[in-house]
Structure 1
Amino acid sequence: MSYNTENIRNIALAGHAGTGKTTLFEALLHAGGTIQTEGSIERGTTQSDTDAQEKERGHSIDSCIASIDRAGCHINLIDTAGYADFRGGTLSALAAVETVAIVVSAGNGIEHGTRRMMEHARERGLARILVVNKIDSDANKLRALVDALRDEFGTECLPVNLPAQDGKHVLDCFFHRDGATDFSSLEEAHQRIIDQVVEINESVMGTYLDAGESSLSPQQLHDAFEQCLREGHLVPICFVSARTGVGVQEWLDIADKLLPNPSEGNAPPFLDTDGDRVIATPDPTLHAIADVFKIVNDPFVGKLGIFRVWQGTIRRDSQLFIDDSRKAFKVGHLFRVNAKQHVEIDHAIPGDIAAIAKVEEIHFDAVLHDSHDEDRIHLAPMHFPQPMFGLALEPRHKGQEQKLSQALLRLAEEDPCFRVEHHKELNETVIRGLSELHLKVMLERMRERYGVEVVTHPPRIAYRETIAGKAEGHHRHKKQTGGAGQFGEVFLRVEPLERGTGFEFVDEVKGGVIPNQFLPAIEKGVRQAMEHGAVAGYPLQDLRVTVYDGKYHPVDSKEVAFISAGKKAFLDAIGKARPVVLEPIVDVEVAIPEANVGDVTGGLAGKRARIMGTDTHRGGELVIKAQAPLAELTDYPTELKAMTGGRGRYSLDLSHYEPVPPPVQKQLSEAWKPKVEDD
């Protein structure tokens, strides 16, 4: 099918787990003619849940992309995971779309994931549409849900269609208003949304006031509607039943007629190396620029980089560059990803979502381009939650170390919220994710895909060290071995910096008492000491080191001597500068039934948590916001499950570092001393 950029719609289905996103995805693909038969979650036959873990658990873990072609409109649809544990893939999908369709269950109403996705989409400047699914319900419940959506997210939330005949039909209340609904006056709903749309544009508003609605053309209404979406002035509400198909064709009509195309949406800014904004233009004749928003390691086609084209045209057999690399690669195969199918295509225009295979250098968030005019730009970074849950691991069977390393690399390529760390001082490999469940799924995938089994244990908490005061240090390194000796003497000062600043190295040496060529060696020695810690064996941060005096010998002074002198002078100063151990403090959000609030807040208080506030939402759900030391939350998933009967949910994000209580510092320091003495 032939189409241009104006015919493309890029839409992500998002929302809380269990709202029916995957079933709606199937229904839309079937209604749009992409698939002949709708799959079933229960039978494990859906287009999007193809991974063994997804089939076993009955919910999405990864995002899935498919397209629909109907009457000149090409819709790229992305089904995303609802569980917060897997939101890395969900958030990365937002980098490829103009519109987020946030699915809400008519029975469950507004849930924690609904609020999160509304906020993420708003922050990203994306058009939002609320899709009320499972409308096989009574009209009073649906009416109450619309009121709740407007109370929660603003009066800009307005129905664009309404259910009728107990959810057996939906009626358009934007372009047409004929028919009776179970809900409210169709005329009233029509008037509300028209009034909301026309007030965004002075010219349209003037025409409407002077000559009435009949004087407005469909194009004028579309343009005003699209502007409302882009500026957040309107969040349409529409009704569907993915299970019965009610409202599904009407939803596709809304996507076709009213949702923004790539020329109309808010294009995300690219940044050059100086931090200046560069806006890509959806012109197919300009240099090509695309952003990789998803990596898949496919067992049949190899590594697959899925990207959104922002500017220019990418053609099969053309040459592309990755980021600032000067080495081009040939686009041997260009694919349209259609759920389980990879369909080869000749070219991809602005707004298209496409994929290339077997390019090992490609990575998540890579910028693909065909001109070195674009080799210094990147997409403005997305905010991903910091993976705070950790597991240290090692292969269960000897000889699989290399296989384990490769498997972890592949898994980390696919998930921006899955990290792999290797701690050299402990010879410990640590994986980090968003939750216990997140890590469990990744380990199961590693076993199933790559045949690697591991043994796990809790990792060390990522403590840090710093200083609370100023001090000076000195060391003379002198070594005579019979031949040429070693000599270097260093005087330096240390002082604390603001939390999160990092490290500064300052040269205040006067008169050449230490030649310039030895200053990098002093800094190297300081950095070595910072890496291994001075109080409890954790890296030092947030301090300034100033070298102000020293001595050298014209024959015996060597780089190695000043490395040693710098390291020991630094440790001498640190010992006098009131060193402290810092611990990671995380922002905790716990969503629970209101009946459990006493147990949960009491449990958090016992973990040195500070309660920052609570929000009560309709349906009796309460969200507790707190800050707590990460070290206190090791067993929190099990505890929360026990307190709430499995109904509680929580999320963590790194907030900051702050000093541990003195008893904890003493305990950490004493545990480290025996290791130092053994060394």
Structure 2
Amino acid sequence: SEKEKFCGLCFKVFSDPFVGKLFYTRIYTGKVKAGEEIFNSTKKIKERINKIVRMHANRQEIIQEAKAGDIVCFVGFKKTTTGDTLTKIGSSLLLEEIHFPEPVVSLAIEPRTQKDQEKLFLALKKLEDEDPSFRVSYNKETGQNIISGMGRLHLEVMVERLLRDFGVEAKVGTPYVAYRETITRKVESVGKFIQQSGGRGQYGHVVFLMQPEEKGKGIVFESKIKGGVIPREFIPAIKEGVDSSSEAGVLGGYPVTDVKVVLVDGSYHEIDSSDLAFKIAAEIAFKEGLRKADPVLLEPIMKLEVVTPLSYLSQVIGDLNTRRAKITSIEERKNVKVVKCEVPLAEVFDYADILRNLTQGRASYTIEPLYYEKVPQELMLKILGK
């Protein structure tokens, strides 16, 4: 109701060429006015509403106040993103977060001409701000921009938007499965970066305890340094070194995930130690730990649901069995059969064409990311070209 404190959820961010960023927000309780300062309780920051815009298809209406039940656009936020809870200052209310799955398909992208380089970078940044399931990264080894998303169609739409909305022509590579790397056992690793060249040198020394972490936890960093063995001001640089080196693993250069890194020891030099020295030492220790901890490749497993006429059921199941699929259920829905299964993405990359040929275009399917699972040894060697 309007009498309660203001609370809303930002469910979409859109870059408008004339207004700037529009933050689409559903208001659940209370009311809010243009010019007011509000609290983003997800990020624990204050934001100011410069304008409130009510959207009518492609026409915008500036309004002074929005109340419970309205869906409006706020203009002027700096750090708010999709899924953030917006409340009155002083409130700690937090709405349930929107869960965005990890991207499962990636491809390399580069501008057609050198002058488009900056335009491409800015356009990709805007698209990443708008869509949390779309990620942009840079591969240091190949010097390429990598875009990742929920599937081939998702990435095709993004490339099309680059041309249509931002006027950037891009050359794109072939889509590939977004594999991950992780470790299988607990190890201790040491990283030292020591340089002496006449003047002031560089000195960084860290000792990590690395172990497998729960599925979906990503990279977890923890410091157990006591007694000033390493001064506290160098800890953020060590964490930064771990994060940057986890972007490319030691098997195939794929991002590393589900690893716990505990900083347990190290040393420093009164004069020569610096943030850079400790960052490089952390990178060396992380890579060494990956090599020692029996790294494995992880592949995305998808939840696949196929709706097919009964006459094609045996062909569909037979084909899925050849694709390492694990069938979880076969149900009847009116006069069709619904096959639910879990299947590696690499096996169903072109499933639209496969299913069309199998069933003469009479079956349909839906697919969504589920989790990451270890790749069988013989397949891992094949993927890595060994």
Q: 1:592·1:648 contact (CA, 8 Å) conserved in 2?
A: yes
Q: 1:334·1:347 contact (CA, 8 Å) conserved in 2?
A: no
Partner of residue 590 from structure 1, selected from 287, 299, 306: 306
Partner Cα separation in structure 2 for residue 339 and residue 607 of structure 1: 44
Aligned to 2:316: 600
Q: 2:239·2:279 contact (CA, 8 Å) conserved in 1?
A: yes
Partner of residue 30 from structure 2, selected from 289, 312, 318: 312
Letter of the aligned partner of 2:49 in structure 1? F
| Higher strand fraction (1 or 2) | 2
Aligned to 1:473: 189
Partner of residue 173 from structure 2, selected from 449, 452, 457: 457
Q: 1:591·1:624 contact (CA, 8 Å) conserved in 2?
A: yes
The CA deviation string for residues 348-400 of structure 1, in whole angstroms up to 9 with x for no partner, is: 432233445x546465445455x4124x4443223456554444333334422
How many matched pairs? 381
Q: How does 1:224-303 map to 2 (within 5 A)?
A: 282=1, 284-295=2-13
| Higher helix fraction (1 or 2) | 1
Q: 1:465·1:539 contact (CA, 8 Å) conserved in 2?
A: yes
Aligned to 1:448: 164
Partner Cα separation in structure 1 for residue 58 and residue 166 of structure 2: 20
Aligned to 1:532: 248
Aligned to 2:219: 503
Q: 2:125·2:136 contact (CA, 8 Å) conserved in 1?
A: no
Shift in CA distance, 561/364, structure 1 to aligned 2, threshold 3 Å: closer
Partner Cα separation in structure 2 for residue 445 and residue 293 of structure 1: 20
Aligned to 1:647: 362
Q: How does 1:32-431 map to 2 (within 5 A)?
A: 282=1, 284-295=2-13, 304-315=22-33, 317-321=34-38, 323=40, 324-331=44-51, 334-335=53-54, 337-339=55-57, 341-342=59-60, 347-356=65-74, 359=76, 361=78, 364-369=82-87, 371-374=88-91, 376-383=92-99, 388-412=104-128, 417=133, 419-425=134-140, 426-431=142-147
**Any idea what SS the aligned residue of 1:380 has?**
coil
How far is the alpha carbon of 1:347 from its aligned partner?
Answer: 4.1
Residue segments in structure 2 that go unaligned for 5+ positions in a row? none
Residue segments in structure 1 that go unaligned for 5+ positions in a row? 1-281, 672-679
Q: 1:388·1:652 contact (CA, 8 Å) conserved in 2?
A: no
Partner Cα separation in structure 2 for residue 436 and residue 372 of structure 1: 42
Determine if the alignment matches structure 1 residue 581 to structure 2 residue 301.
no
Q: 2:105·2:175 contact (CA, 8 Å) conserved in 1?
A: no
**Any idea what SS the aligned residue of 2:11 has?**
strand
Shift in CA distance, 591/309, structure 1 to aligned 2, threshold 3 Å: same
**Any idea what SS the aligned residue of 1:493 has?**
strand
Shift in CA distance, 651/408, structure 1 to aligned 2, threshold 3 Å: farther
Letter of the aligned partner of 1:401 in structure 2? Q
Partner of residue 332 from structure 2, selected from 604, 610, 616: 616
Shift in CA distance, 493/460, structure 1 to aligned 2, threshold 3 Å: same
Looking at CA atoms only, which structure, 1 or 2, has the larger radius of gyration? 1
The CA deviation string for residues 32-77 of structure 1, in whole angstroms up to 9 with x for no partner, is: xxxxxxxxxxxxxxxxxxxxxxxxxxxxxxxxxxxxxxxxxxxxxx
Q: 2:111·2:169 contact (CA, 8 Å) conserved in 1?
A: yes
Q: 1:320·1:330 contact (CA, 8 Å) conserved in 2?
A: no
The alignment-based identity, stated in percent, is: 35
Determine if the alignment matches structure 1 residue 660 to structure 2 residue 375.
yes
Q: 2:237·2:279 contact (CA, 8 Å) conserved in 1?
A: yes
Q: 1:420·1:429 contact (CA, 8 Å) conserved in 2?
A: no
How far is the alpha carbon of 1:300 from its aligned partner?
Answer: 7.1
Determine if the alignment matches structure 1 residue 634 to structure 2 residue 349.
yes
Letter of the aligned partner of 1:330 in structure 2? N
How far is the alpha carbon of 1:618 from its aligned partner?
Answer: 0.7
Partner Cα separation in structure 2 for residue 523 and residue 300 of structure 1: 39
Partner Cα separation in structure 1 for residue 58 and residue 236 of structure 2: 54
Q: 2:39·2:89 contact (CA, 8 Å) conserved in 1?
A: no
**Any idea what SS the aligned residue of 2:246 has?**
helix
How far is the alpha carbon of 1:453 from its aligned partner?
Answer: 3.2
Partner Cα separation in structure 2 for residue 563 and residue 342 of structure 1: 48
Partner Cα separation in structure 1 for residue 233 and residue 210 of structure 2: 22
Shift in CA distance, 582/420, structure 1 to aligned 2, threshold 3 Å: closer
Letter of the aligned partner of 1:588 in structure 2? L
Normalised by the length of structure 2, the TM-score is 0.80
Partner Cα separation in structure 1 for residue 344 and residue 314 of structure 2: 20
Q: 1:313·1:349 contact (CA, 8 Å) conserved in 2?
A: yes
Aligned to 1:62: none
Q: 2:48·2:76 contact (CA, 8 Å) conserved in 1?
A: no
How far is the alpha carbon of 1:295 from its aligned partner?
Answer: 4.7
Shift in CA distance, 594/319, structure 1 to aligned 2, threshold 3 Å: same
**Any idea what SS the aligned residue of 1:647 has?**
coil
Letter of the aligned partner of 1:658 in structure 2? E
Q: 2:181·2:249 contact (CA, 8 Å) conserved in 1?
A: yes
Partner Cα separation in structure 2 for residue 477 and residue 407 of structure 1: 38
Q: Which moved more, 1:563-572 or 1:651-660?
A: 563-572
Aligned CA-pair RMSD: 3.6
Shift in CA distance, 553/385, structure 1 to aligned 2, threshold 3 Å: closer
Determine if the alignment matches structure 1 residue 493 to structure 2 residue 234.
no
Normalised by the length of structure 1, the TM-score is 0.49
Shift in CA distance, 505/442, structure 1 to aligned 2, threshold 3 Å: closer
**Any idea what SS the aligned residue of 2:118 has?**
helix
Partner Cα separation in structure 1 for residue 129 and residue 288 of structure 2: 42
Shift in CA distance, 300/571, structure 1 to aligned 2, threshold 3 Å: closer
Partner Cα separation in structure 2 for residue 363 and residue 590 of structure 1: 34
How far is the alpha carbon of 1:617 from its aligned partner?
Answer: 1.0
Higher relative contact order (CA 8 A, sep 6+): 2
Partner Cα separation in structure 2 for residue 310 and residue 320 of structure 1: 18
